[in-house]
Each structure stands twice: as C-alpha cells, then as structure tokens.
Structure 1
C-alpha cells in the first residue's frame, strides 16, 4: 500500500485492501501494538526459561515457569512465540545398547584391568564401535585409538556392526603404525571382537 500511495488515494487503497484508514495510519507510524509489545517481553522470558531448562522444556512446561514470573500466556501463544524464535526442544533419546557382551564366543583375558598407563606409543590400543547419523541413515564407525598418544590410528565405516568392520579398522591401524610384538588391543568384549 505504501508504494501505491502516490498513484491512488488513501481512501481507495483502504477500501481495496479492506483496512480502516486509522489502521493504515497506525501501521504507517510503525508503532507496535500493545500485543506485539507484550510478545516481545514474553519472547525474552521464554528464551530465558528455554536456556535454564537446557533446551528441554516445551510449551506445556514453560507455561507454569512463566506464570511463576508473573506472565500470563496460553500454550498456543507460547508455542507460536517459540516457533518465531526458532526454539526447539532437545529430546532425550532412549538408551539403546549396542554391545552384546553376553555371547558364547571365546573371550580374551582382560590384560589391562582398567590400568590404562602405557609408557610409549603403540603399547596399548583401545577400540570401540559407535553409530553416526548421516543423510542416508545410520553408519557404524569402528575406531582404534592409541592410549598413549590419544591418536586415532585406524577406523572403518560400514552399514552393519560386524566382526569384519572391527577387523578392517584394526588392519588399517596395523598397516598405518606397524606396532612391535606385545601390543595390547583392548575392547569391550562385544561379539564383534
């Protein structure tokens, strides 16, 4: 409407856009409405509660927190303001065990017994598998780490958590570092190891 003012009368523009002249002039002045001013104050309070909750509270839990601070707002309004602010909850993920230490396969002795104190590189390597989200789904990452240098000496990625995946990571580490005889390769004793 602002750009059309030189060509058309204000009355005609207001009629075409179905707004009152007083509403048009109030908008032109640029002063935010009382509701918009309340929203601005509420947004600051919502952000504070969001941070204090470590980004875990949604509108249902934010509402009583705001009420304690003296703000009155419905859940719908809180949800709308959170959307405008781009705030989203961090959802807790259910723990999912990925290690099966309960199997009938032979298990190597625990040579370290939680005493991780090597005196030189390539004396003790630890290994584990984790899963990584990608655009194409989950990938499993098997890594081998030198305890002395904290360096990742070998790794492999695959679509399934298999013994071949862990062997590939270990093989890459051996090819890369060529450790001397006596290296301890420590794992969580999962079925892949």
Structure 2
C-alpha cells in the first residue's frame, strides 16, 4: 500500500513516506497513552479531592487568581471544585481590600509623622491631631494601627501600688477555717473590714 508523504518542518525536505500500518500503530499507541493520562488524572482527582475540600475558600480563590492567565477560568473552577460566581465575588471584595490596605498605609504614614513630632502622644491625642489636619478617622482605628506597628504614647500618670503584705509580720492563724456555723450566738465573730484608720495611719487586715 502506498505511503503518505511527509514534509519535515525543520529542513523542508520530504521525509520517507509513512505507511498506513505505521499510522495505525501510532494511533493505537496514542490511544493507550490517552488512557494512561485519563487514569492518572482520575487518580490525582481522587487523591486531591479531600485536600481541595479542606482548603479554605480564600486559598482556592487566590490560586485561581494567580493562574487565570495560564488556564481558563472554567477549567480552574472545575478542577478546584469552586463556583465561578463565588470567585468573582471574591475578586470584587479583593479590590475593596486592596483599596483599604492602601488607605491604611497612607494613614499609617500620617500617624508616624505625628508620633515622630510628638512621641508622647497616644492614640487619642494622635486622633485629635489628625482631625485638626482634616483627616476624619476614628480613635479605635488609630489605636489598632499604632498597636500593630509598635507605636505607643508616654503616660505621665503615677501607677498606684496595691497593698502588699509585710513579709516580716507574724502570721495570723485562721480560727474559723471556713466553718461559719456555730452551736450558740457570739461564739464566732467575723467581719469584712479590710482596713481602718488609727493614730499610726491606716491599718490593713
């Protein structure tokens, strides 16, 4: 049987003719390879299915967004078992998040300028200073940005010391032992006074 003439793509010269039997053999080989590829894909899908379901939606959306130039959106969503409408909603929300991040970066720069000029300023005074400059922002947002970026004011208030027991004082025995019932009146006397004034000053129980 006559062969089919084939022209080489590199040299442009005709290659030896390919017979029909050779084409059939190559077709059978390609079919076998296709079956192997299909089996491998099915195995990978079965193995990756649980992992895909366990992955947070935002991670799947981010993967699709990063590879959308290489593969079609339909294929990516089908392989990752993701609804296209949910992905598009994530993209719209991502644009809002990026805009908010840009605004907060600009706001943080303004906060740094105020804090550099006035190192003692905390969130409340920084907020007042920014509002005087025409920046409308809430104190909680300023406090969050300052806290996350290690910025803090200087407090001038003296810290109150709590009552500390005298380590050298004699230990008073607990005679009640949390047994608050008594067989007769005036046998056990208790009170809730923690301190009282004396000529020597306040005494604490």
- Smaller-chain TM-score bracket: 0.3 to 0.5
More helix by share: 2
User: What's the TM-score, normalizing by structure 2?
Assistant: 0.35
Larger radius of gyration: 2
User: What's the TM-score, normalizing by structure 1?
Assistant: 0.37
- Bigger relative contact order (CA 8 A; separation at least 6): 1
More strand by share: 1
